[in-house]
Structure 1
Amino acid sequence: MRIVILGAGVVGVTSAYYLAEAGHEVVLVDRQPGPALETSFANAGEISPGYASPWAAPGIPAKAMRWLMMKHAPLIIQPRPDMAMLRWVLAMLRNCTANRYALNKSRMVRLAEYSRDELIALRGALGIEYDERSQGTLQLFRTQKQLDGSADDIAVLQSYGVPYEVLDRSGCVGAEPGLAISQDHFVGGLRLPHDETGDCHIFTRALAQRLPAMGVELRYNTRIEAIEKDGDRITGVRTDDGMLRGDAYLVALASHSPALLAQLGIRLPIYPVKGYSITLPVADAARAPVSTLLDESYKIAITRLGDRIRVGGMAELSGYDRSLSPRREATLRHSLNDLFPGAADNNAPSGFWSGLRPMTPDSTPIIGRTPVSNLFLNAGHGTLGWTMACGSGRLIASIIGGTPPPIDPEGLELARYSR
């Protein structure tokens, strides 16, 4: 089949790879001059299947109110007349029950664990390098209440057979020696030894460079204007460089997917949740993180990427606004310098960046068919696009190609929102 993929982020590029590997003719389209230049560009860098958890959870509404009042707030809401935001927030609140949390978590972990294994296999097969480290992830608790509250997460990890370690203060320093200077700022942590880190942009760019040799046509600098439909089938995609036609069409446009599909009368419950990051050179390797640390209080990830430190996090509901607030950069720097003082060169340019995470109300991506027979989706991965990309790409390739899926796709399809 000839398959047109809309979107060249990490999800679109991995989808193109697996579809081409399966023998399909693939066209990959993006408005940017290259791959992974939006949400995939400067994310936190963590590949964390064990932390694949829904944002919608019991107790989150009360926590959210406290977060909004913090000086270094992990949650920011910019009030605006936005019905899409309101619908998304209400739908998310409906998922804040124990039963829905458990169901959504099970779907996310199933995909994330499989995706991590696919990434390892792909990395081994192609020899791609992307500042990868396989040294685990440490969730750091600054208070005893946070440490005690990890019992629920540990129970979930146990139920899925995910290896973990509960660490006291000295155990955290053993895992991340750079914390020795700041060990009076935390009480303990939860470590997942099988998690990984890596630069998503470097990975995606390297994988995209392999695609032309597989017969994939790359159409960068091409703006998608509309999808044209006749009856129950898509007949083409209109771009500023002419019409693109295929047998099947895959939308992998992250937060921009809803606007395009709205033209077809398809409502996607995906909303852009803004995140921020800075990237600084390592100044003192002995004080720097060796892998990824999650600062539970501020919901910030601090990740070692080669000779750089990436600090990313926060959640801001502000529509499609990607402006950069100095207050958010101050929060990122506060978390880094509080836990790893002297690790980074704070006088260097920070590469301050923002990206729009494509969040669904249940935090689970939408992968599979749509009501239009030859239109498919691979979008809505939220904060876990990097973690879930390879598994999602392999799964959608099997769905489009009509081959047995590598994992159970139940609960990942768009139809779950109509049930």
Structure 2
Amino acid sequence: MKVLVLGGGVIGVTTAYFLAEAGHEVTVIDRQQGPALETSFANAGEVSPGYASPWAGPGIPVKAVKWLLMKYGPLVVRPAFDPHMWTWLIKMLRNCTAERYALNKSRMVPVAEYSRDTLKALRAATGIAYDERSKGTLQLFRKQKQLDGTGGDVEVLKRYGVPYEILDRDGCIAAEPALAGVREKFVGGLRLPGDETGDCKLFTEKLAELCVARGVTFEYGTTIRRVVRNRNRVVQVGTDKGWRTADAYVMALGSYSAPFMRKMKRPIPVYPVKGYSITVPITDAAAAPVSTVMDETYKVAITRLGDRIRVGGTAEISGFDLRLHESRRRTLEHSVGDLFPGGGNLKAATFWCGLRPMTPDGPPLVGQSELSNLYLNTGHGTLGWTMACGSARVLSDIMSNRVPEINALDLSPDRYVKA
């Protein structure tokens, strides 16, 4: 089958790889001059299935108000006359119940775990290298209340057999020795030893090379103008370089998937939530993190990537605005500087932002759309890197008429069509 994949980020490229492995003829279209140059470019670097949780949960509306008032708060809302923003926010608020949180997390953890295992198998089969480490994630709690509130998450981890450790101060320092100098700033942590880290951009570049070796064609520097449907099928895609046709199409454009779907009168509840990162050169390896530390208070992930520290986080709801706001940089600098002082040179850090494609409930949209030959692989939010390989493998199985190895119904776009 001839397949056209729209989008050359980590989701699009992993999809292309597994489709090519399944024997399909694949072309990838992306407006950038290479792979992973937008949201996949400088994310937090976590492959964290154990940390796969929906943003919508009980208590979030109250917490959101507090976050908005914090000096280094993790949330920013820039109100705009955008009905899609407000519709998405209302749908997200409806998911802020204990029952829906448990359901949504139970849908996210299996695909995240499966994705991590698929990534491991891919690494073993191809030898792909991307500054990867398999040393876990430490969710660090500055307050006892945060540590006491982990019960719900731990129950889900137990249910799915995800390894975890509840740690006191000394346990956190044993996992991350550089924290010894700031032990008074935290009370304990939740460690997820099965989590990994790695450079998403580097991985996507290397995987694109493997795709080419398997016959995949990449059309970079090509802007998609229109996706044209006729009744219940996509018939062609218009680009600035002409029309493209295929037997099947995959929408993997991240946040930009939503505007195209609306134009085809098949809307999906995906909205951009901007995240920021800084990449800090390491000056003292002993004072830098070993793997990933998630600063729970500021919702900031601090990750070791080779000779760099990647610090990613904050949620800014401001539509498709890609402006860099210095206040967000200060939040990231405060978190890493507070926990790992001396680990890196903040003055030499590079500053970046990207648009995370978020669904209101948390799980991504993976599967056939309402159009018979259009498939979706989008809506992964902050977990695109974590879920990329698993989502791609699931979608490849669906498109190849194979039964996926995990329950794909929980990720189907049908959950919104039927709602």
| TM-score class normalised by the smaller sequence | over 0.9
1:361 CA drift (Å): 0.2
- Residue 379 of structure 1 aligns with which residue? 378
For residue 304 of structure 2, what is the aligned residue in structure 1?
A: 304
Q: Aligned residue for 1:225?
A: 225
Equivalent position SS for 2:140: strand
What SS does the corresponding residue of 2:122 show, helix, strand or coil?
Answer: helix
The alpha-carbon deviation at position 232 of structure 1 amounts to 1.8
Aligned alpha-carbon RMSD (Å): 0.8
What is the match of residue 368 of structure 1? Answer: 367
Unaligned ranges ≥5, structure 1: none
Give the match's secondary structure for 1:58: coil
Residue of structure 2 in register with 1:396 after alignment: 395
1:4 counterpart residue number: 4
Query: Which aligned pairs between 1:103-118 and structure 2 lie closer than 5 A?
Result: 103-118=103-118
| TM-superposed deviation, 1:319 | 0.5
Task: Supply the AA of the counterpart residue of 1:394.
Answer: R
Q: What secondary structure sits across from 2:410 in the alignment?
A: coil
Alignment deviations for residues 169-214 of structure 1 (CA, whole Å, 9 cap, x no partner)? 1111110001011111001001001100000000000000111221
Q: How much has 1:370 moved relative to structure 2? A: 1.1
- Per the alignment, residue 330 of structure 1 pairs with 330
User: TM-score normalised to the size of structure 1?
Assistant: 0.99
- Trace 1:340-351 onto structure 2 (pairs within 5 A): 340-348=340-348, 350-351=349-350
How far apart are residue 124 of structure 1 and its match? Answer: 0.9
Match of 1:127 in 2: 127
Distance 1:255 1:22 in 2: 27
Long gaps (5+) in structure 2:
none
Q: Partner letter of residue 207 of structure 1?
A: L
Equivalent position of 1:205 in the other structure: 205
Separation (CA, whole Å) in 2 of partners of 1:203 and 1:78: 33
Distance apart, 1:347 and its partner CA: 2.7
- Residue 411 (1) aligns with residue 414 (2): no
Q: By how many angstroms is 1:105 displaced? A: 0.7
Cα deviation, residue 45, structure 1: 0.3
Residue 418 of structure 1, CA deviation: 2.5
Q: Which letter does structure 2 place at the counterpart of 1:15?
A: T
SS in 2 for 1:211: helix
For residues 116-155 of structure 1, the aligned pairs below 5 Å read: 116-155=116-155
Partner of 1:269: 269
Deviations 1:123-142 (A, max 9, x none): 11111110100000000000
For residue 400 of structure 2, what is the amino acid of its counterpart?
A: G
1:79: how far off? 1.2
> CA separation in 2, counterparts of 1:275 and 1:232?
35
1:17-96 correspondence to structure 2 within 5 Å: 17-96=17-96
Deviates more, 1:224-233 or 1:131-140: 224-233
Q: Does the residue aligned with 2:190 lie in a helix, a strand or coil? A: strand
- Measure, in 1, the Cα distance between the counterparts of 2:384 and 2:181: 33
TM superposition outliers: structure 1 runs of 4+ over 4 Å:
none
Local SS of the residue matching 1:411: helix
